[in-house]
Chains A and B, each alone.
Chain A
């Protein structure tokens, strides 16, 4: 890691690890990875004070490609690992990443509860509307009717909108991005990391292998930006930009200031320790002597 002179402490390339991505050429996740390097550089994040955690899936390989502390865990559990890291070491920058299957199907319960707690971390969900690593099965964000390897007759299920889910379960910063727009995604990631509380970024990240070349073009065509006067502090306004067929609105849909889980825990800790010295084992045991 070479620190450079001037205002930029770490160049985007400084965050690049020696591992080459296993992703297919043209995978949307490259855009997210590049945006992450840039955002971390913008924020001058010291690599040794950052942890990137993931579950399983194509996008979950990302921690290996960033030269910070990283943890590629088990399927669906990125947020549980991240919870332990952030609660135990609140001073660290903690970023969880993963795909739509990992975060919305097998790990959906953890998304709900991490959002509800408003834990101060960033969750980047790279959404390609398909299971890529297992080679092309239907995912929770696959549009109804789509034929995939596991929906021979077409997908019988409606898709979930990850942003709508995050807003309704308590996330305090929610945005939608597109990996084809690296500039926008960089800005969104930087904003997400800066936010105090649970920041949720749903990045549309096309899968060239299982969704075909057309997914990139199709997404680009329906891409829209939020109106300038969008009131992001208004939950009802934010929910107007959930995914409708034919429109994909990018930008920060929702942002409010609330005490994070960490704020509350630290406050309780301060209250529990106020003016007292740390109890010894003997002090604790003595509370079990007969009470009278």
Chain B
């Protein structure tokens, strides 16, 4: 029986071409409309060193990276060992490993997680490359040929990819690589019968799909939203936003500065926005920490600003290339003084588009800083998307009316807390703004009464956000035996586990807030009334999300369970399923006892 859903795990050293293999597979899949997700992970080396790539290719929609690899491609078991517990194979996986590697199979099996049903096929990758293409460099192309033959990957797309990559070089180079591809196919033919259950079955779609990362999509979303100024400082895993915009910002007539540090980045963003131009920066946890003082300035001076925080493992330098959900409190509460802000949390790659545009809309409507709290897992993985879903209404900068300019007061205390904002160039709208507390005209004041009044005015703006927007998603039945709450990239594995549970007839549901501040309290409250038991999933050792929920909601007493752990490894569907199973059992036992 062929399959509709296949996950590959590829590990090698620099020079093995691991990333190229993954990239070609995903692009060839996207070309024929398959659903693909590609996740790369590296060791700490700048060049060389071990690298891994998992690619999931499916004929049906997918939401997670694939817990267990159906196919393992190992050029070198020593490198593979460095991803122990992060890359696990399914028990009956097909393992293609370098024939010359003498590591004993038993040693590998323990950390790979394979069982009797696994098929081990030693492949002379190096020899095949040398014999067919005349160079060991063609090892990855030979591998693609083997995979194409054994697993039914889109051949036309793979050939086109090879042709594109080597087409610009001497004809002999392209020919050699195509020979390598075909040699791989020919070598694999005799094994095809053994692995028929891993043969991908699909109907090619008419439309090719986009293949994008969350960072790339956030950057495009910013341009879509009318962002025409970006300032940033390079930091993993957010730098792709800066890099992408360095090419495209000038193309749309905007400006970009790579500043000397994150302090300057947020300062320049506030300056540009004060000057009337929609502005954004992107960073990661350590950078957000440096920006915190000026987040307070944006709140105080009421300057719209969008800040993307792509979370990585922390604290301090932490795990720069791996994901975690532990910047939550920093984003929500990191502040001196009472500094209102809005925090949005995209839960997948596509969300990065909508959340970023929504962030601009809210920032412009309310003159608040808005943080888009993304994380490495959604920001750097590549996922297939349909162009059609990528549109979002854009709110422009609000222009003061002639009446508002009459006796203009920049911080007029209005019912909504939102005051008319002018910008340089507008005659009659001149004002001096301040990080100091100030009155309605912007004049500095240390009076308690002014402070109380202006705090209330600034916080009132959050009501506008809460009344107008309520970003959250739910999955599963309305009334459920078990409800799950999670946020951000934990959504993918949770959604997949919930849908599988529903497929088995289990009444499991999920609530995923995409706006964390202000929180969609009413919707969450309503959701809780329809579930009996509750599990909270998060990748934060100190359970920041769970504790945050408890600040405004009494979670079901004795019915609330918590799954939390450190980041560094993405949440897996298996972890979610395991917990679902256990809590459902507890629920059933309890019912038995009570009856």
Contacts and interface: CB of A to CB of B under 8 A. Distances in A.
Interface residues of A, number: 59
A68 B427 CA distance: 10
A52 to B, nearest CB: 8
B255 A51 contact: no
B496 to A, nearest CB: 24
Interface string B276-316: 11010000000000000110110001000000000000000
A261 B274 CA distance: 20
Contacts of B266: 80
A83 B257 contact: yes
A53 B271 contact: yes
B157 A112 contact: no
Interface stretch (B132-140, B159-167, B192-200): B159-167
A89 B250 contact: no
Chain B CB within 10 A, most for which of A47, A56, A73: A73
Interface string A166-208: 0000000000000000000000000000000000000000000
B271 A83 contact: yes
Nearest to B225: A281
Contacts of A61: 444
Contacts of B212: 288
A109 interface: yes
A153 interface: no
B425 interface: yes
Nearest to B427: A48
Contact of B220 (A17, A87, A281): A281
A110 interface: yes
A270 to B, nearest CB: 9
Interface stretch (B4-12, B26-34, B543-551): B26-34
A85 B271 CA distance: 5
Interface in B172-211: 208-211
A64 B424 CA distance: 15
Interface string A24-46: 00000000000000000000001
A130 interface: no
Contacts of A269: 250, 253, 255
B271 A70 contact: no
B392 to A, nearest CB: 9
Interface string A13-31: 0000101000000000000
A82 B297 contact: no
A71 B301 contact: yes
Contacts of A268: 250
Contacts of B216: 288
Interface in A70-110: 70-74, 76-77, 79-85, 87-89, 91-92, 109-110
Contact of A84 (B160, B275, B435): B275
A212 interface: no
B269 to A, nearest CB: 6
Given A74-B294, A81-B268, A278-B253, A285 B431 contact: no
B2 interface: no
B303 to A, nearest CB: 9
Contacts of B220: 281, 284-285
Nearest to B219: A284
Interface in A260-279: 265, 268-269, 271-273, 276, 278-279
A106 B435 CA distance: 17
Contacts of A69: 423-424, 430-432
Interface in B360-390: 387, 390
B297 A73 contact: yes
B228 interface: yes
A110 B294 CA distance: 15
Nearest to B160: A292
Contacts of B390: 281, 285
Contacts of A92: 275, 424-425
B279 A289 contact: no
A51 B433 CA distance: 11
A88 B208 contact: no
Contact of B252 (A85, A113, A278): A278
Contacts of A282: 387
Contact of A48 (B251, B391, B425): B425
Contact of B251 (A47, A51, A272): A272
B273 to A, nearest CB: 7
Given A48-B428, A71-B432, A85 B272 contact: yes
Nearest to A89: B275
A290 B251 contact: no
Contacts of B224: 281
A49 B252 CA distance: 24
Contacts of A292: 27, 31, 157, 160-161, 163-164
A56 B444 CA distance: 13
B430 A83 contact: no
A129 B480 CA distance: 70
A67 interface: yes
B1 interface: no
Given A17-B432, A64-B444, A88-B279, A265 B255 contact: yes
B449 interface: no
B271 A82 contact: yes
16 contacts: A48-B425, A48-B429, A69-B431, A73-B267, A81-B268, A83-B264, A84-B272, A84-B274, A91-B425, A113-B264, A273-B253, A281-B220, A281-B223, A286-B387, A289-B210, A290-B157
Interface of B: 27-28, 30-31, 157, 160-161, 163-164, 208-212, 216, 220, 223-224, 228-229, 231, 248, 250-253, 255, 257, 259-261, 263-277, 279, 293-294, 296-297, 301, 387, 390-391, 423-436, 443-444
Given A88-B228, A88-B276, A291-B27, 10 more contacts: A19-B432, A77-B267, A77-B294, A80-B268, A84-B271, A88-B229, A88-B275, A88-B277, A89-B272, A272-B250
Interface of A: 17, 19, 46-51, 53, 56, 61, 63-64, 66-74, 76-77, 79-85, 87-89, 91-92, 109-110, 112-113, 265, 268-269, 271-273, 276, 278-279, 281-282, 284-286, 288-292
